[in-house]
Amino acid sequence: MGRVAFIGAGPGAADLITLRGARLLAQADVVLVDALVDPALRELAPGARWIDVGKRGFRRSATQDMINALLVRQAQTGNLVVRLKGGDPSVFGRLDEELAALAQAGIAAEVVPGITAALAAAADTRRPLTRRGRGRSVSLTTAMTRDGTLHASHSADTEVFYMAGRQLGALGRRLAAAGWSGETPVSVVSRAGCADRLHSEHRLADLAQAAMLHNGRPTVVVVGAGATGVMPAHPATTTETAILQPTDHH
């Protein structure tokens, strides 16, 4: 019986994978890879069999049942199977469903965390998601629910919406209905962590204007405290103090 390692590949560039993830990937016999994973990561496991199981919004792609069955079947042959997921496996990665399928089949699994898109967007734009005194809570939410309903809330100081690129105008209206002011700052980042990332900043009332710029690209929307730019600190008033050196009398 083999085993399965879930590895977070990060949100974009290949070098955002962790050292632990890269070392484990290099040992893989089989890799089940997501659609948005950087192809350059294949260089870390050139001898492995790579199987594309990526899900793509609004297109035909691998079903979750198919992925679960592949994981079980490949591990049962004694292989080290790597399930290489974009971002972090535990954040909107359906990790619970795949772990459950392996547990039912008696297959051992481990999880190696990765960098999720919200963190990459914060780093790319130099807009920390938390701020002392005014940004103490962060919510990560998928813009669309399983039944295709657009969801918005006002439950944290900073709210990050994943997979929102096609619904920016509607998302802005839902956020306003949830209690956010039209003047609320919003930061929109598509392909966070990649060399071709795009960033735009808006008032909530104008969020629909971002739709054309980010159209067709994986997009995260940051709303609230974490969307504001960092202001330069005011220089502190300093007092110079003379440091007396001992005098050499000899």
> 3-class SS at 209?
helix
Last residue of a domain, one of 112, 142, 177: 112
Residues 6 or more apart from 92 whose CB is under 8 A from it?
Answer: 140, 142, 162, 163
- On whether both 101 and 130 belong to a single domain, the answer is no
Do 60 and 110 contact (CB within 8 A), yes or no? no
Q: What is the mean pLDDT of residues 163-190?
A: 93
Residue 218 confidence (pLDDT) above 50: yes
Instruction: Identify the domain containing residue 88 by its residue range.
Output: 3-112
Q: Which of 178, 197, 173, 161 is nearest to 10 (CA)?
A: 197
Active-site annotation holder among 29, 55, 85, 157: 55
Is residue 34 among the annotated active site residues? yes
- On whether both 121 and 219 belong to a single domain, the answer is yes
Specify the pLDDT at position 62.
83
Is residue 163 among the annotated active site residues? yes
pLDDT tens digits along 104-124? 999 999 999 999 999 999 999
Residue 175 in any domain: the answer is: yes
Residue 246 in any domain: the answer is: no
Active-site annotation holder among 52, 65, 66, 163: 163
- On whether both 155 and 64 belong to a single domain, the answer is no
Residue 44 in any domain: the answer is: yes
CATH code of the domain containing 34: 3.40.1010.10
Residue 233 in any domain: the answer is: no
Element holding 175 (H helix, E strand): helix 168-177
Residue with more model confidence, 62 or 109: 109
Residue 160 in any domain: the answer is: yes
Residue with more model confidence, 57 or 169: 169
- On whether both 94 and 124 belong to a single domain, the answer is no
Specify the pLDDT at position 163.
87
Q: How many domains does the chain contain in total?
A: 2
CATH code of the domain containing 220: 3.30.950.10
Residue 245 in any domain: the answer is: no
Residue 239 in any domain: the answer is: no
Q: What is the mean pLDDT of the chain?
A: 90
Is residue 55 among the annotated active site residues? yes
Query: Considering only 58-67, 132-141, 204-213, which range has the smallest mean pLDDT?
Result: 58-67
Active-site annotation holder among 34, 88, 124, 157: 34
Residue 147 confidence (pLDDT) above 80: no
